[in-house]
Structures are given as structure tokens and as C-alpha cells.
Amino acid sequence: MSLLPVEEALARLLAQAAATPIGECESVPLADADGRVLAEALIADLDLPPWPNSAMDGYALRLADCTGEPLPVSQRILAGQAPAPLQPGTCARIFTGAPLPAGADCVEMQENAEVLADGRVRFSEPLRAGQNVRPQGQETRAGEQVLAAGTRLGPVELGLIASLGRAELTVRRRPRVTVLSTGDELIEPGLPLGPGQIYNSNRSLLCAWLRRLGCTVVDGGILADDLQRTRDALTALADVDLILSTGGVSVGEADFLGQVLQEDGELTLWKLAIKPGKPLTCGHYRGVPVIGLPGNPASTLVTFGLLARPYLLRRLGVVEVEPLAIDVPAGFAWTKAGKRREYLRARLEGGRAVLYPNQSSGVLRSAAWADGLVEVLEDRTYAEGELLRFIPLSELLG
Ligand SMILES: Nc1nc2c(c(=O)[nH]1)N[C@H]1C(S)=C(S)[C@@H](COP(=O)(O)OP(=O)(O)OC[C@H]3O[C@@H](n4cnc5c(N)ncnc54)[C@H](O)[C@@H]3O)O[C@H]1N2
Ligand code: MOO
């Protein structure tokens, strides 16, 4: 059976996401909008800055008045004041951010101005029109689109929106996502470990990550390896937007989740050309989309970051869903071409990507050590120093 290329899997997921948007919106105060997705384009309803103002502490003047003779100071303008028009043949004391008086066309910084004993000011450096003036609307004109619908809001966007005076925003409602862990070996942290048991790490990883993505997490806990209890657990999840499960997607015999999806929804098993993360399940349960990630913790990380994350963001109408990546020279040689595209946990050291020594899909510590994922393409080898795509984990985790 041929493996599904990563691009193809992503394209399919994004198409499904676009077909099932989470379209409902809500109004939120600016202070609560971090991490949310803007539902409507943000159009400026004022010029920014609203009036020309000084970029320096100094003197506002009219270039034509500067004949070499010192100028008297006719007014003092602080930020927050509304100045009178500049009297011809004078200058105005002005401070950074204060409105430029009508009639002035430049500002000289105080370091280049000499205040004489009689209070007049001599300007000896050459001046030019517009110098040290921040013109009205230099950042934004009223009517301009400042942010597109589908923008994810972070500190920068919130600052920008605040500068336009908006206190309320229309954003997409939070997606409700259930995290289910499958596997009889799993036990929650804090409980004593019995024979054959391991602690559930995927749940903590995914719940925290989903919250960072603006989702409301409906914790589904550990799904028992039992058909009726799996049915009951899924029936209780009618009002979520996505069921995200981990584990039980390869060829194991105790895959009750798959069985319930086949009975009451749809199940497609994908074999992806990705390492870690080959087996992935897609489908729905009574119309609620389901993504089943492989259970190995590094596989969960890679498939959530590269496939489920962009899928969720696209359902929220986000356009730019793929992480920013940079090309970096390999700090290692890759001598054995593989059938799957590998995402190796790596650090940047001296501008080169170096690998965590153990790249097993069961080793989550590799990702805690790493700065990012290095992409090794299928069917090829790399010499040390060759360029590889590097996806910073900071890009994926937010
Ligand atoms: N005969 C084959 N066996 C396997 C194949 C295959 O193609 N043929 N694929 C391997 C690959 S690749 C992967 S990845 C895993 C995927 O397995 P599942 O998604 O079905 O996951 P499990 O078998 O349930 O678990 C795999 C591994 O991960 C541990 N795990 C599961 N859930 C958690 C959790 N919530 N927290 C921490 N660790 C978890 C689990 O104990 C297993 O060790 O299949 C290979 N096998
Ligand atoms: O794809 Mo599996 O995730 O290699 O271990």
C-alpha cells in the first residue's frame, strides 16, 4: 500500500476544514481577545496619527522663517494639548508626540538648537521640510483595512486595535474539542503506576496546546478498551466541534474507537509518508469530525502540529495556517534515504541543525530538548552543510 504524501494529507484535511467552518461569532472585550480569530476585517475609522505631531523634543518652526536670525518662542506645546497656529516669524517649544501647530512644517531637536540669553533660539544646522514630523495618517488612513478577517490575534494585533480606539471585537467562537486517550496501559499522573502501565502524556500535551489555540477543551479522559463503554463515551460528546483521539490507530486488535466510528459515522485509515506519525485516522461520529493521532508521544506532537493544528485553524477561517520555516544547514549527514518524510527534533547550534541523539517516536524528551523540527525529505540523502527546512517549535506551539 503506497503512503499518502504529507502535502496530500494536509490538502485533504484543509478541504474538510473549509467545508465545516466554525462560523458562529461573538463579541469580546479587547482585553479578552488574545488568541482569538477576527471574524470581520478591521477597518480604521480614524487616521493614525490623527494629526501631524512631533517625533522629537525640540522646536517647531516654518522653514521659510529660518533666515539665520534667532527666532522667539511664541508657545509651548506638550503632548495632549491643542496648539494655536504658529505665529509667523516665531518657533514653538514642542515635545515628542505633541500636535504640530498649523503653519509649522518642521521640528528641530533641542540638541541642535541654542537658546540665547534673551530666550530666542538659534538654529544653525540645515533644516528640511517635514523633518521630525510624523504626518497625519502615516500609519493608517480612515477607511483602510488594517487587519483581514481570519487574523489570529496576539499582543501586536491587540496593540494595533487599541491604537484605533476599539474596545470590542467580533471573533469566531471558541472551538470545542474533546481529547480522548485510548489504551488500557494508560494511567493519569499522580496515581501509582501498576504493572504494564504508563502515564498518559498525550492528554496533557494536547489539552495545553489546544487551549493555546483558543479552543475550549472538553476532556474525554481515557477511553476504556471496551466496546459499550466507548459507545457511551462518544454519545456523551454530541456538542463538540472535533473529537481528537490518540492511540489505537495502527493495526492493533483492541480498536474500539474505530469500530464505533464504523457503526455510527465514518472511519478512514491513512498511512502517511511521515515519520513519526504514519497511522492517522480521519472520520466522523454522527457528523462530528474525528481525527485520530498515533499514540507515540512524538508522533502525536508531529501530527498535531503539522496536520491537526492547521486543520483547526482553517475551520476558524484562518488563512495562514502553516508555520513559518527557515532553511538551515544540516549539522549532520543523512546517509540513508527513507520512504517517509522525517521530522527530526533538532536544535540550532552555531547556525546549524543538530539532532537529538534518540529520534524514537516514543521519546518526547527529544522535543523538550529541541528548538524545532528539521524536515528530511523522502527518498533522499543529505551531506553535512546542505540546507534543510527547519520549523521552529515556537511557530507550532502557539
Ligand atoms: N504491525 C505494525 N505495528 C505498528 C505499526 C505498523 O504499521 N504495523 N505502526 C507503528 C507506528 S509508526 C506507530 S506511530 C504506532 C501507532 O500506534 P497507535 O496509534 O495505534 O497507538 P498505540 O498502539 O495505542 O500506542 C503507541 C505507543 O504510544 C503509547 N501511547 C499511546 N497513548 C499514549 C498516551 N496518551 N500517552 C503516552 N503514551 C501513549 C503506547 O503505550 C504505545 O507505546 O504503531 C506502531 N505499530
Ligand atoms: O509513525 Mo510512528 O509515529 O513512526 O512511530
CB 300 less than 6 A from any atom of ligand 1:
no
Q: With bands split at pLDDT 50, 70 and 90, how would you rate the model's confidence at 250?
A: low
pLDDT single digits (tens) 108-154: 999 999 999 999 999 999 999 999 999 999 999 999 999 999 999 99
CA 84, CA 363: separation in Å to the nearest integer? 69
Return the ∠ at Cα 123 (arms to 122 and 127), rounded to 5°. Answer: 165
Structural contact between residues 391 and 375, judged by C-beta atoms closer than 8 angstroms: yes
Q: Which fold has domain 28-46+147-172?
A: Molybdopterin biosynthesis moea protein, domain 2 (3.90.105)
- pLDDT above 90 for 279: yes
One-letter amino acid identity for 232? Answer: D
CATH superfamily of 6-24+173-315: MoaB/Mog-like domain (3.40.980.10)
Judged by its nearest atom, the ligand closest to the C-alpha of residue 340 is 2
Structural contact between residues 187 and 34, judged by C-beta atoms closer than 8 angstroms: no
CB 5 less than 6 A from any atom of ligand 1:
no
CB 278 less than 6 A from any atom of ligand 2:
yes
Instruction: Give the residue, out of 250, 267, 293, with the most ligand 1 atoms within 8 A of its beta carbon, to mutate for a pocket test.
Output: 250
pLDDT single digits (tens) 185-195: 999 999 999 99
Q: How far is the CA of 395 from the centre of ligand 2 (A)?
A: 22
pLDDT single digits (tens) 375-393: 999 999 999 999 999 999 9
CB 361 less than 6 A from any atom of ligand 2:
yes
Domain with CATH 2.170.190.11 in the chain: 53-134
CB 246 less than 6 A from any atom of ligand 2:
no
Domain with CATH 3.90.105.10 in the chain: 28-46+147-172
Partners of 274 in the β-ladder:
341
CATH superfamily of 326-397: MoeA, C-terminal, domain IV (2.40.340.10)
Judged by DSSP in three states, 291 sits in strand
Average pLDDT, the chain: 96
Between 349 and 269, whose confidence is greater? 349
pLDDT at residue 333, rounded to an integer: 98
CA 383, CA 238: separation in Å to the nearest integer? 51
Judged by DSSP in three states, 223 sits in strand
What ipTM does the predicted assembly reach? 0.97
Domain with CATH 3.40.980.10 in the chain: 6-24+173-315
CB 247 less than 6 A from any atom of ligand 1:
yes
Structural contact between residues 275 and 294, judged by C-beta atoms closer than 8 angstroms: no
Q: How far is the CA of 3 from the centre of ligand 2 (A)?
A: 13
Domain with CATH 2.40.340.10 in the chain: 326-397
Q: Evaluate the omega torsion of the peptide bond into residue 49 and state whether it is cis, within 30 degrees of 0.
A: yes
CA 270, CA 340: separation in Å to the nearest integer? 13
The matching CATH number, chosen from 2.170.190.11, 3.40.50.300, 3.40.640.10, 3.10.310.30, for 53-134 is: 2.170.190.11
Judged by its nearest atom, the ligand closest to the C-alpha of residue 278 is 2
Contacts of 162 (CB under 8 A, 6+ apart): 30
Judged by its nearest atom, the ligand closest to the C-alpha of residue 257 is 1
Backbone angles phi, psi at 346, to 5 degrees: -140, 160
CA 175, CA 244: separation in Å to the nearest integer? 12
